[in-house]
Structure 1
Amino acid sequence: MTDYVKYEQDGPIVTLTLNAPEKRNAISTFQDCDDVVAAVHRVNRDRSVRCVILTGAGTAFCAGGDLKAMRDRKGILEGSHADVRENYRRGVQAMANALYDCDAPTIAAVNGPAIGLGLDVACMCDMRIASDKAAFAESFVKVGIVPGDGGAWLLPRVVGMSVAAEMSFTGDLLSPQEAKDVRLVSKVVPHEELMAAALALAGRIAANPPEMVRMTKKLLREGQHTRLSTLLEMSAAFQALAHTTEDHREAVNAMLEKRKPTFTGR
């Protein structure tokens, strides 16, 4: 990884910071995308990680694509129509697949504007909380393009089709409270309290059996696009595994003994 993604771990919680404040954390190069993918792969390989917080350095969460790169057709936008199509697959779409499929639960701590691709990056996470200095826009139409990163799939699943269509067709900017009203974010907090709130939420998640949380995430993801009968089969298989774990026995015993459980991931 380069410095675009800052990887910090404190116990079971990893904080990933998009670390290019000079360009408002815009994503414009293959390396930017590769760094996000690499960070997620690192999380997936480390079973000690129980929750991930994604945030931005400086005043923005992520300003989306780089307008100067768009104007000059640099980075991902270089080449013919066929080249650009393949570049999207290799770049922002590979990033979208990796972040959406991260094994550990993910929280977007939206510290400032999340615009276009930046909004969709937030929607790739499982949960979103916002600073009162945040702003949100599905603004691709404002620069004469379409959501090339999966936003047309992601956003309706977060806010519903009607709100997603309004946001996508107008490109209008939403305030933090408006984002909360349409359930784009679950919580709005004062800017200086954002990371504390994200860490508190991550801590509540990390206190639970880690493999059960990861399996629950897989079920939630699968449940968005599969039949109930298929999900029930998958749930039965996961449940059979869960009942054989040490963490399950520890959870039951702790409840019966009225004490705090200690989970090991086994």
Structure 2
Amino acid sequence: MEIKKVFNNNVVLTQNREGQEMVVMGRGLAFQKKAGETIEADNIEKTFVLDNRGVSDKIGELLREVPEEYLTIADRIITMAKARLGAGLDDYAYVALMDHISFAVTRHKQGMVLRNALIWEIKKYYKEEFSIGLQGLDVIEEETGIRMEEDEAASIALHLVNSRVSGEGLDAAVQIVKVVNDTLNIVKYHYKIEIDESSINYERFLTHLRFFALRLVQQEKADTPPGDDFMFTQVQRRYTAAFSCSEKVASYVEKTFNWTVSNDEKVYLTLHIHRVTSRQKLNSRG
């Protein structure tokens, strides 16, 4: 296996038979070796296959400052996330998690514990990612001997959310949480109710809101073709309370993010709002 780049004595960049870049690790794997030379497969202890060619260089840069154990930690967390989330994670997650966790552990050793201001929202709206974050704390403890606070699980969860936002940046993940939280508050105040967060309708609404917020963050436009407003008119007439609420959401989005909510978006918002609130009102009467 030919070396493309040496990151340090234990980590090199190479590629497999399919031409995919691989970061491979092994004790003393690259000792006194350079690009163009070969390494023995028997000496490889861990392999990281990357789809994004630019990521390997960033990993290499980090490995000049950060111990290899943080690449192992990142890989274990990402492997868990891929298995549980059933969705692709951007390769840059390796870099983001390596960098973040190494810095977090350093801060922890210095007695600096930073609180995650979004921990409540992350626990609530990204339960699966937060659960993986908690498992990530176990991984960190196994690899470093340090037990981090739950706030760190929330930070790991945010990085996973960000990775699924296709490289929009961590600010985008934070913004998505804000949009979801603010929209739910608008619904609660409009109807003067507490939503049953254990209901399937709430989960459906939450899923829709996440994608709605993602489109907002990415500034995607969903223009409705001229004359294709039959459903919009029907929903507006049939679900007046829910439609009024969706208009409040649209107004909030336009004022806060300068993003125009299309009629299609209002239709789906109205239907989800009606579904989650009508069931809630029936239950409260009983």
State whether TM-score is above 0.5: no
Please identify the structure whose Cα radius of gyration is greater: 2
> Normalized per residue, which structure has more strand?
1
Normalised by the size of structure 2, how large is the TM-score? 0.22
Higher relative contact order (Cα pairs below 8 Å, separated by 6+ residues): 1
Task: Give the structure-1-normalised TM-score.
Answer: 0.23
